[in-house]
Amino acid sequence: MKGNRRRHFFINKPLQLRYMLSVTVPLLLICCVAIFGFYIGIWGSVLGAFTNEAMRDDLLTASRMVEYEQARYQTAHEGFSLLSLFKETEKLGQRQREVFHEILNETNRAIAWKLLLLLVLTAWGTIYVSHKIAGPLYRFSKTFSDVERGNYRTRIFLRKGDEGHPVAKEFNAAIESADRLLSDLKTAAQNPDQAQALATIKAKLDPIKTSADV
Amino acid sequence: MFRSFFIFFILVTFLTPCQAEAYHPTPEEIELITKIEKDTLQYFIRLSDKNTGLTRDSSRSGSPSSIAATGFALAAFAIGGSRGWIPHDYAYNRVLATLKVLKEDAQHQNGFFYHFLDARSAKRVWSSEASSIDTALLLAGALLAGQYYPGTEVETIAKELYERVDWKWMMNGSKFICMGWTPESKFLPYYWDSYNELMLLEALAVGAPQNPAPPETWHAWLRPEGNYNGHRVIYASSGSLFTYQYSHAFIDFRGLKDDGNDFFDNSREATLANRDFSLSFAGKYRGYSENSWGLSASVGPGGYKAYGSLPGGATHDGTIAPYAAISSIVFTPELSIAALKFFYNNYAENIYGNFGFKGAFNLDKSWWADEYLGIDQGITLLMLENFLNDGIVWKKFMSLDAIQKWITLTGLAGKSDENASESPSLEVATPTASPLPQ
């Protein structure tokens, strides 16, 4: 196991750095938007409601007024509320719970569209990033199929910014070399002088290492 | 010989009319009750606006004034002045200034004041209703103050405030008195149609010198009967103890028979039922015990609620309002004093302050109210005064023409004069004698 331990963190530094950037920048962006959204959404509502002491007093007095009415007229029965999941709300008055319920609802509404925007941004970012990998992979696959079918004139063409340019370059060089070899063999095979043709072919194939050499 | 003696013994034992023994508080108990009453008075001194005299609903910051609390304040100042706890002139001037504001500045509709007023401007706040019951509590305090200062401007203005109330209008063409009216929605869809704290309101409405409610309205409201643990009670829907107390702070119901119903005895039974009910839950709630009881409308961990017992709504969560047990002192003196001492000796650190007992506490939720409520302090003060001072509030209030008119018109078999003659002394009660039966 010890022998399999990675010794180099950077195998392909530019590629990895680009990946790090492409992952961290959207993540940072998402975090910023999320934090901003939550900060504005939640704290904006809460701070808005409790801007000052007078506001707080008004809130409590308003809740007390409603509680007085409910105690006197005994009309309202408290229904289920998500707030009741929070033990802390046990010590809040009914009107206070209603107010906080409303604040949470407003907060949710306020951050809902931000979350939607985040989702769209994330989806777009994911597609954009994955396209830079998926596109080249598709082209690699198509080119391999062409080669399998005997088309050695095929080449891998990648878009600017796509990943895999060095690999494609090397592959194109390899396929170009094979294409040249096969072209030479084909040309030699068309030579009417069979002996010379065979000698040429043999000379071309000699440096080639294949399974037949084993 | 033995047979004759045995028969005599049986006759004496079972045929002699049952005479309830008056409870005699010890000097220490008298001292503590007096301290609590004096401390409670401080609420009205400190939390009534210095210019308008309007009293804040609660000690909580930002609380508006409440006309019910202001009514209790008028009574409290008069009592405090008469007791010498505050200077006579100071008490008189505060009462007079408040009454002048109520007459000239306070917003009202046909004589009915809005439930909550701005303490400085005396204008309606929080879209509150012109409240019939709260106006009644205010008028009761004003009329009582008038009795403490007979022949003065206080008495004159108190009567003027009373006379300008149009009780018929508040009935809105029905046989009951409506709970309130707002400029926006007009009459509220709630009426005083069943037993609760309504009796004071009904008495003032029927006995009013101007635009009175017809006597039939007294007989119209329901008197639902219930039974809990052997206590038969004409009960209020909430089962809250305060509903059995408010009217009794001013009106001496002892001896008044309403078609056979004795509402003083009824309140005693309701108090005992309330205590028994909380005791039956003593295993579930730590706050309930033999000397810790009193389920009544109060602040609580979940806000202000109409806590109560059976028979009635029986909403409870372990919250005890000290004022509830204390204000039943005229009905159950021994039990109420035991509760009062228990609260004071065990929880004073958390629940007792400069203005007496705070709103409520809940041991299970480790919750202690950090505020005083004007109406809680008011009922406490008046009931303690009745107990300590020979039923002085009752005597003064019962001698009002309006109350006598109400008794006559409704056919209540009144023995209030007898009560008055039984305890004519208006002196401060001595440590060894309390006028009230156990």
pLDDT along chain B (438 residues), means of 10: 52 42 89 98 98 97 95 98 98 98 97 97 94 98 98 98 98 93 91 94 98 96 95 96 98 93 97 98 97 97 94 95 98 98 98 98 96 98 97 97 96 59 36 42
A66 lies in some domain? yes
Q: How many CA atoms lie within 13 A of B76 on its CB side?
A: 33
- What pLDDT shows up at residue B17? 39
Q: Is residue B29 part of a domain?
A: yes
**Statement to judge: residues A96 and A179 lie in one domain:** no
Structure tokens at B204: 């003032």
- Residue that wins the pLDDT comparison between A32 and B224: B224
Going B414 to B419 to B425 to B428, the CA torsion angle's sign is: negative
Domain that holds residue A22: 13-147
- With left for phi above 0 and alpha for psi between -120 and 50, is residue B23 left, alpha or beta? beta
In a domain, A6, yes or no: no
Contacts of A96 in chain B (CB under 8 A): 303
Inter-chain residue contact B303 with A93, CB threshold 8 Å? yes
User: pTM of the full predicted structure?
Assistant: 0.69
CATH number at residue B189: 1.50.10.140
Is residue A61 in a domain? yes
Q: How confident is the model at residue A3 (pLDDT cuts 50, 70, 90)?
A: low
Helix axes B374-388, B132-148, angle to 10 degrees: 40
Integer Cα distance of B112 and B12 in angstroms: 55
Which tokens is B367 given?
């919750």
Q: What's residue B197's pLDDT?
A: 95
For the residues of B13-62, what is the DSSP string, one character each?
HHHS---PPBP---HHHHHHHHHHHHHHHHHHHHSB-TTT-PBBSBSSTT
Residue among B117, B149, B132 nearest B48 (CA): B117
Q: What are the chain A neighbours of B324 within 8 Å (beta carbons)? A: none
Closest chain B residue to A55, measured at CA: B62
> What is the CA B28 to chain-centroid distance, rounded?
25
Note whether A19 and A56 are same-domain residues: yes
Q: Residue B403 has what pLDDT?
A: 97
Whether A61 and A129 map to the same domain: the answer is: yes
Long-range contacts of A105-112 (CB under 8 A, 24+ apart): A106/A45, A107/A41, A107/A42, A107/A44, A107/A45, A108/A41, A110/A37, A110/A40, A110/A41, A110/A44, A110/A45, A111/A37, A111/A38, A111/A40, A111/A41, A111/A42
**Largest interatomic CA distance in chain A:** 118
The verdict on residue A96 lying in a domain is yes
| Contact at CB, A92 and B62, closer than 8 angstroms | no
Kindly state whether residues A201 and A128 are assigned to the same domain. no
Chain A interface residues (partner B, CB cutoff 8 A): 53-54, 56-58, 60-65, 67-68, 70-74, 90-96
- Across the A:B interface, residue pairs with CB atoms under 8 Å apart total 64
Give the range of the structural domain holding residue B104, as residue numbers without chain letter: 22-421
Both tokens assigned to B403: 């109350």
Is A55 a member of any domain?
yes
User: Given B63, B303, B306, which is nearest A95 (Cβ)?
Assistant: B303
How many structural domains is chain B composed of?
Answer: 1
Does residue B203 belong to any structural domain of this protein? yes
Q: Which of A53, A54, A96 sits opposite B303 (nearest CB)?
A: A96
* pLDDT the model gives residue A83: 66
Which of B304, B315, B364, B366 should we substitute to test contact with A (largest number of A Cβ atoms within 10 Å)?
B304
> For residue B422, what pLDDT is reported?
43
A142-188 pLDDT, tens per residue?
999 999 999 999 999 998 888 889 999 999 999 999 999 999 999 99
CB-based contact B378:B75 (threshold 8 Å): yes
* Within-domain flag for B283: yes
- Classify residue A140: in a domain, yes or no: yes
What pLDDT shows up at residue B4?
Answer: 57
Residues 6+ apart with CB under 8 A from A38: A111
Are A173 and A136 found together in one domain? no
Question: Quick one: A71 and A112 in the same domain?
Answer: yes
pLDDT band at residue A34 using 50, 70 and 90 as cut-offs: confident
Regarding whether A129 and A53 lie in a shared domain, the answer is yes
Residues A139 and A33 in one domain: yes
- Closest CA in chain B for residue A57: B62
The Cβ of residue A141 has, within 10 Å, a number of other Cβ atoms equal to 10
Within a domain: A3: no
Indicate whether A43 and A124 sit together in one domain: yes
Residue A6, pLDDT score:
56
**3-class DSSP assignment, residue B260:** coil
B247 contacts B199 by C-beta, under 8 angstroms: yes
Instruction: Find the residue in A nearest to B308 (Cα).
Output: A71
Give domain status of residue B438, yes or no: no
pLDDT, position B166 = 98
Q: Find the mean pLDDT for residues A122-148.
A: 87
Count up the domains in chain A and report the number: 2
- Neighboring chain B residues of A70 at a CB cutoff of 8 Å: 305-306
B78 lies in some domain: yes
- The answer to whether the beta carbons of residues B118 and B55 sit under 8 Å apart is no
Pair (A118, A37) in one structural domain: yes
Tell me which residue in B57, B238, B301 faces A74 most closely, judged by beta carbons.
B238
Note whether residue B9 is domain-resident: no
B168 lies in some domain: yes
Is residue A2 in a domain? no
- Max Cα distance, chain B (Å): 82
Contacts of A86 (CB under 8 A, 6+ apart): none
Tell whether A132 and A195 lie within a shared domain.
no
DSSP B306-325: ----TTTT---SSEE-HHHH
Distance from CA of B297 to the nearest CA of A (A): 7
Q: How far is CA B314 from CA B236, B307, B327, in A?
A: 11, 7, 19
Note whether A20 and A101 are same-domain residues. Answer: yes
Q: In this structure, what token pair is assigned to residue B69?
A: 């609390």
- Give residues with Cβ within 8 angstroms of B43, minimum separation 6: B59, B76, B355, B356, B372, B374, B377
Closest residue on chain B to A93 (Cα): B303
Q: Which residues of B touch A53 (CB under 8 A)?
A: 61-62
- Given this model, what pLDDT does residue A96 score? 59
